[in-house]
């Protein structure tokens, strides 16, 4: 990018417009409800400015934190422009666009303001610069074809035009999932209605049909809910997680949100939040959406704690990760409504309810690069006796394996598979439950407290009746261990 003053750049654009003749290409352009003809002009690609508000790399810029602040504070500086260009080069479709332009040159013009700031075609501009550097003898790569926007265009109109161009998709790369979510937020914040955004995003909707407009609005509102979920996950992570970290999680998030909406309607918000919280833990642990589908109330009540206890590295932390440490308040997530899993004053039953909230608190504050934790990193993990430290890779792998095992076991049970193994697994779960009762009683005695003796006596009597019936049942079927205890 050349070091030009703002005035010099305006003059370059004005000169390009003045050089237009009747023989030059003209294209129809819709502007403020009227079709006008705008000429296609050619300007040196090194003299145009990348649009710092482009949603092509909005999520990436936000993820840079302080290093990316220059893009907002001094967007036309060489530092900001270099940073934008580097981020554009890192987008997933950049090389594809570059290969196409190398072969076919620039087919479609971009759009530019009279001050030389690109509205769209930011990727094409970076591609042309790179190709011009690689192939300086190819004069075409040193220039970019653009149409110049009327001088009275304001920032909201420019953003709306970017959205319209993105929806056309010609040979542009599509925006990433998180960048599109942020784009929709900005459009909503600018006052656009969800139905208007939706019919632009999905051309199959008929803008004159009330039914289609309602469906389009519903899609946009659902997308914005996904953005809110991610916004709150990022806030809860204290900087460990950033927008691009979730670019591959679209389907998982869609299903988590849809599950929440269904459960909230059928069983109420408390149940819906509990399941949603657990599904988000699955996402953070790296489970694919097919396994996250199996995370529900039954998964929480009957599968996941046992799976943790079967992992050697998690055994001591299993209860603390699934339920929480005794007398330890839940970590404060700043009142984030979508992630607030339970009421602040839980009932006695909820004190022992598996929510995976403590595991969420650990996972959300630790990130992995390309799916792999730093080999030297460690994670502080809560246990019944306090905290312990585990190597990050060991912890992440154990959590993912345990949650996958629990999901697969539930899926097999749901489908009637592995029926022969269900009795063994249920006996293991019963044994683990007995161990948890003993540990819970010891903890209460250590604190000088006592459970309600009458309630505990009734529960023990019911348990012993079931226990004795099971022993007789198994003894009749020849199990020596059962026979020896009758």
- pLDDT, tens digit, for every residue of 444-460? 776 677 778 888 888 88
Give Cα 225 to chain centroid, integer Å.
11
Note the pLDDT of residue 80.
Answer: 97
Q: Which domain-ending residue is among 117, 147, 174?
A: 174
Note the pLDDT of residue 432.
Answer: 76
Q: For the range 154-160, what are the long-range contacts, defined as Cβ-Cβ under 8 Å and sequence gap of 24 or more?
A: 155/53, 156/190, 156/191, 157/32, 158/51, 158/53, 158/113, 158/119, 159/53, 159/186, 159/187, 159/190, 160/187, 160/190, 160/192
Best CA proximity match to 220, nearest among 182, 194, 258: 194
User: 170 with 180, same domain?
Assistant: no
User: 312 with 461, same domain?
Assistant: no
228 pLDDT band, cuts 50/70/90, is very high
Report, as an integer, the average pLDDT of 84-111.
94
**Looking at the predicted structure, is the pLDDT value of residue 277 above 60?**
yes
Q: How many domains is the chain built from?
A: 4
**Model's pTM, two decimal places?**
0.74
User: 152 with 233, same domain?
Assistant: no
In this structure, are residues 356 and 287 in contact, taking their beta carbons and an 8 Å threshold? no
Tell me if 404 is assigned to some domain. Answer: yes
Give Cα 405 to chain centroid, integer Å.
23
User: 60 with 189, same domain?
Assistant: no
369 pLDDT band, cuts 50/70/90, is low
Tell me if 37 is assigned to some domain. Answer: yes
Note the pLDDT of residue 357.
Answer: 96
What's the length of the chain?
A: 486
Residue % of the chain over a pLDDT of 70? 90
Phi and psi for 110 in degrees, rounded to 5? Answer: -90, -170
Report, as an integer, the average pLDDT of 375-395.
90
Which tens digit of pLDDT belongs to each residue from 327-340?
444 444 444 455 54
Note the pLDDT of residue 22.
Answer: 81
Instruction: Decide: residue 163, CB within 10 A, 0-12 exposed, 13-18 middle, 19+ buried.
Output: buried
Report, as an integer, the average pLDDT of 103-107.
92
Note the pLDDT of residue 456.
Answer: 83
Q: Which domain-ending residue is among 116, 142, 174?
A: 174
User: 148 with 235, same domain?
Assistant: no
Residue % of the chain over a pLDDT of 90? 66
User: 232 with 351, same domain?
Assistant: no
Query: For the chain, what is the mean pLDDT?
Result: 88
User: In terms of residue numbers, what domain contains 141?
Assistant: 6-174
In this structure, are residues 57 and 84 in contact, taking their beta carbons and an 8 Å threshold? yes
Tell me if 439 is assigned to some domain. Answer: yes
Tell me if 125 is assigned to some domain. Answer: yes
**Looking at the predicted structure, is the pLDDT value of residue 480 above 90?**
no
User: 466 with 382, same domain?
Assistant: no
**Looking at the predicted structure, is the pLDDT value of residue 343 above 50?**
no
Q: Which domain-ending residue is among 153, 174, 195?
A: 174
User: 146 with 46, same domain?
Assistant: yes
User: 219 with 294, same domain?
Assistant: no
Highest mean pLDDT among 43-57, 347-361, 429-443: 43-57
Cβ within 8 Å of residue 200, ≥6 positions away:
163, 164, 167
Tell me if 1 is assigned to some domain. Answer: no
**Looking at the predicted structure, is the pLDDT value of residue 169 above 90?**
no
**Looking at the predicted structure, is the pLDDT value of residue 113 above 90?**
yes
Report, as an integer, the average pLDDT of 7-35.
90
**Looking at the predicted structure, is the pLDDT value of residue 156 above 60?**
yes
User: 85 with 13, same domain?
Assistant: yes
Note the pLDDT of residue 275.
Answer: 97
Tell me if 363 is assigned to some domain. Answer: yes
User: CA geometry: angle at 315 spanning 411 and 355, to 5°?
Assistant: 55
User: 44 with 57, same domain?
Assistant: yes
Note the pLDDT of residue 451.
Answer: 77
**Looking at the predicted structure, is the pLDDT value of residue 135 above 50?**
yes
**Looking at the predicted structure, is the pLDDT value of residue 292 above 80?**
yes
Whole-angstrom Cα distance, residue 232 to residue 333? 9
User: 21 with 142, same domain?
Assistant: yes
């Amino acid at each position: 990018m050349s070091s030009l003053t703002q005035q010099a750049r305006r003059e370059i654009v004005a000169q390009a417009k003045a050089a237009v003749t009747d023989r030059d290409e003209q294209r129809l352009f819709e502007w403020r409800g009227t079709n006008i003809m705008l000429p296609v002009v050619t300007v040196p690609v090194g003299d145009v400015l990348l649009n710092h508000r482009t949603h092509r790399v909005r999520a990436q810029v936000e993820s840079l934190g302080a290093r990316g602040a220059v893009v907002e504070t001094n967007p036309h500086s060489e530092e900001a422009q270099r940073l934008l260009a580097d981020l554009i080069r890192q987008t997933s479709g950049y090389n594809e666009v570059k290969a196409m332009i190398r072969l076919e040159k620039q087919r479609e013009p971009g759009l530019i303001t009279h001050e030389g700031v690109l509205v769209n075609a930011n990727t094409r501009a970076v591609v042309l610069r790179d190709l011009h550097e690689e192939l300086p003898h190819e004069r075409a790569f040193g220039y970019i074809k653009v149409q110049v926007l009327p001088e009275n265009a304001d920032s909201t109109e420019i953003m709306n035009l970017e959205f319209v161009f993105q929806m056309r998709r010609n040979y542009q790369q599509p925006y990433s999932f998180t960048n599109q979510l942020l784009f929709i937020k900005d459009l909503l914040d600018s006052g656009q209605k969800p139905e208007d955004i939706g019919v632009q995003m999905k051309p199959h909707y008929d803008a004159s049909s009330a039914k289609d407009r309602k469906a389009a609005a519903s899609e946009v509102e659902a997308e914005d809910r996904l953005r809110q979920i991610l916004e709150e996950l990022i806030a809860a992570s204290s900087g460990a997680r950033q927008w691009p970290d979730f670019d591959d999680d679209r389907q998982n998030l869609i299903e988590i949100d849809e599950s929440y909406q269904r459960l909230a309607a059928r069983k109420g918000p408390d149940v819906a939040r509990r399941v949603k919280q657990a599904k988000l833990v699955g996402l953070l642990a790296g489970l694919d959406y097919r396994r996250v589908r199996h995370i529900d109330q039954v998964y929480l009540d009957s599968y996941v704690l046992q799976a943790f206890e079967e992992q050697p590295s998690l055994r001591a932390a299993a209860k603390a990760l699934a339920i929480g440490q005794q007398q330890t308040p839940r970590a404060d997530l700043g009142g984030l409504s979508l992630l607030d899993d339970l009421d602040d004053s839980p009932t006695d039953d909820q004190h022992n309810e598996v929510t995976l909230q403590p595991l969420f608190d650990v996972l959300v504050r630790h990130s992995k690069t390309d799916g792999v934790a730093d080999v030297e990193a460690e994670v502080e993990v809560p246990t019944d006796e306090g905290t312990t430290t585990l190597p990050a890779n060991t912890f992440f792998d154990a959590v993912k394996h345990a949650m996958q095992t629990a999901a697969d076991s539930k899926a097999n049970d749901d489908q009637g598979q592995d029926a022969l193994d269900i009795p063994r697994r249920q006996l293991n779960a019963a044994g683990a439950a007995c161990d948890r009762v003993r540990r819970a009683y010891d903890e209460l005695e250590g604190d000088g407290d006592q459970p309600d003796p009458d309630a505990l006596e009734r529960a023990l009597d019911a348990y012993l009746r079931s226990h004795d019936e099971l022993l007789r049942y198994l003894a009749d079927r020849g199990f020596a261990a059962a026979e020896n205890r009758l």
